[in-house]
């Protein structure tokens, strides 16, 4: 059996792993690279393998850095099934369409603003079209959590709760090859335990081979009570004292719903009041509706809060989902009192760039960063303290307060990752640390080696490992 790392190796994005045996070839995840020109070039070079010979794809969750190249895969000839949880299947319908739409718009912008006669480093051509998305969506096959799936006569797998976003999964895979049966576990993106809305990640107690994420493998998140205090301060100080706006870049799926949950809960607790919240992302309403259709996946506290909201509608914050472009543009005329939640979560695409352009230069405003910011993204430059950024070709001074609230992360921190690993009754034969920036992945691998005594390392991009 061979395992090839085609993404998320010594970096966070582009998750894509190929498993090959004498009788089958399949992928786990097929994600897009994100974070600047280098990521764009990697996406243009996709794939480094033959997509026609693949039997099937297993998908951990709907985030674009795990699913975003599925339409390209289908356009190049892959026609096998794509297995994922039911909630992930629903989310893919909106997220992949949105991905194609954003690519088309950004390609058009690139062509319009390219200097005459100059060739772009990255051609202004979308990676795929909405027609390609439709082709990929036809291949989706939903699978319930904790049920046994046999996608091939030599492969058995189960999707287990990952606690990252709605529908996210850890995937257990048993593979038979040359008379031997080996188990591989793909952690996908693991959530922090005991978080708002979602259940904690499922405990897995055995495997031969493990791929574990390491996004925050070198740090601890702030405790939830302290995180909430900081979040409340950012909002109240900005709106009540500075009389500005609060801009929150947020992933449309997962983070947006968690922020809305917190704003509702803080209103219920009377720690915040009279909130005017604008959710400015064309697919956020659909994503939120999908989330609400899966209340059975919520934890008990989240289900109780939803019941309170149904009973006390008049006490709820004023939450408006912005759909059309004109209404989105009108938000930039609001000078104070608004909380604007908008995608993309890393500030590199979508409507958030417009809101940052009009609010970053205003000292009375604040930007609240609540999620991971990959290297090369605008969000990362803000987190790293940039005083001047370029947005749509305009230089924008950074005068707004920048709050980085890591405690709201949808990713497990170092101790949560270690806690999840300690559920294994004995060490895996080999553990690979993936989905983390190179230095962080190496540091986490060293921590696992030192504390647990496991055989562990960080793979290289396109490295092939034989078992």
Beta-carbon neighbour count of residue 303 at 10 Å?
Answer: 13
| Residues of the chain under the 70 pLDDT cut | 114-124
Q: Which residue has the tokens 């593979």?
A: 175
Nearest to 251 by CA among 186, 164, 312: 164
Q: What is the pLDDT of residues 290-333, one digit of tens each?
A: 998 998 888 888 888 888 877 777 788 999 999 999 999 999 99
What confidence score (pLDDT) does residue 107 get?
79
- 375 with 447, same domain: the answer is no
- 415 with 385, same domain: the answer is no
- 437 with 393, same domain: the answer is no
Give the total number of structural domains in the chain: 2
Measured between alpha carbons, how far is residue 109 from residues 97, 115, 123, 186, 366 in Å? 19, 12, 12, 38, 28
The answer to whether the predicted template modeling score (pTM) of the entire model surpasses 0.85 is: yes
Locate all alpha helices (DSSP H) within 114-223, ordered by sequence. 130-137
What confidence score (pLDDT) does residue 202 get?
98
What confidence score (pLDDT) does residue 35 get?
81
Percent of the chain with pLDDT over 70: 98
382: region left, alpha or beta (phi > 0 left; psi from -120 to 50 alpha): alpha
- 191 with 299, same domain: the answer is no
Measured between alpha carbons, how far is residue 457 from residues 7, 126, 209, 315 in Å? 15, 35, 12, 51
- 349 with 304, same domain: the answer is yes
Omega cis (within 30) before 370: no
- 393 with 258, same domain: the answer is yes
What confidence score (pLDDT) does residue 120 get?
54
Domain residue limits at 237: 224-408
- 182 with 52, same domain: the answer is yes
- 96 with 229, same domain: the answer is no
- CATH number of residue 173's parent domain: 3.60.15.10
């Amino acid at each position: 059996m061979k395992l090839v790392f085609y993404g998320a190796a010594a970096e966070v994005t582009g998750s894509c792993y190929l498993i090959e045996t004498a009788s089958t070839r399949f992928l786990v995840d097929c994600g897009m690279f994100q974070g600047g020109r280098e990521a764009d070039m990697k996406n243009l070079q996709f794939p480094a393998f033959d997509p026609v010979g693949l039997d099937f794809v297993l998908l951990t969750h709907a985030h674009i850095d795990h699913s975003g190249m599925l339409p390209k895969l289908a356009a190049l000839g892959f026609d096998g099934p794509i297995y994922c949880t039911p909630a992930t299947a629903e989310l893919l319908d909106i997220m992949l369409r949105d991905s194609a739409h954003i690519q088309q718009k950004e390609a058009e912008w690139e062509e319009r603003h390219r200097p005459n006669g100059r060739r772009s480093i990255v051609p202004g051509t979308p990676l795929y079209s909405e027609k390609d998305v439709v082709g990929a969506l036809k291949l989706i096959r939903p699978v319930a959590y904790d049920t046994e799936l046999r996608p091939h006569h030599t492969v058995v797998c189960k999707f287990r709760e990952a606690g990252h976003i709605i529908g996210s999964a850890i995937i257990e895979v048993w593979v038979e090859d040359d008379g031997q049966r080996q188990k591989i576990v793909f952690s996908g993106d693991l959530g922090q335990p005991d978080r708002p809305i979602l259940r904690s990640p499922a405990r897995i107690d055995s495997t031969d081979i493990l791929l574990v994420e390491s996004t925050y493998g070198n740090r601890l998140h702030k405790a939830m009570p302290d995180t909430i205090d900081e979040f409340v301060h950012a909002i109240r100080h900005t709106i009540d004292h500075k009389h500005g706006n609060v801009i929150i870049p947020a992933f449309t799926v997962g983070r947006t719903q968690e922020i809305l949950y917190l704003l509702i809960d803080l209103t219920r607790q009377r720690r915040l009041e009279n909130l005017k919240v604008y959710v400015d992302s064309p697919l956020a309403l659909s994503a939120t509706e999908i989330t609400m259709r899966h209340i059975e996946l919520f934890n008990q506290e989240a289900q109780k809060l939803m019941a309170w909201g149904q009973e006390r509608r008049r006490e709820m914050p004023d939450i408006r989902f912005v759909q059309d472009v004109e209404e989105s543009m009108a938000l930039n005329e609001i000078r104070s009192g608004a909380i604007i939640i908008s995608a993309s979560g890393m500030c590199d695409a979508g409507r958030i760039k417009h809101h940052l352009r009009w609010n970053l230069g205003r000292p009375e405003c604040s930007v609240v960063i609540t999620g991971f910011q990959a290297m090369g993204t605008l969000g990362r430059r803000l987190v790293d303290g940039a005083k001047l950024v370029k947005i749509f070709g305009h230089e924008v001074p950074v005068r707004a307060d920048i709050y980085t609230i890591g405690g709201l992360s949808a990713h497990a921190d170092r101790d949560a990752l270690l806690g999840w690993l300690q559920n294994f009754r004995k060490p895996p034969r080999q553990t690979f640390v993936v989905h983390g920036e190179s230095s962080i992945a190496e540091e986490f691998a060293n921590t696992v080696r030192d504390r647990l005594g496991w055989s562990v390392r960080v793979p290289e991009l396109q490295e092939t490992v034989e078992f």
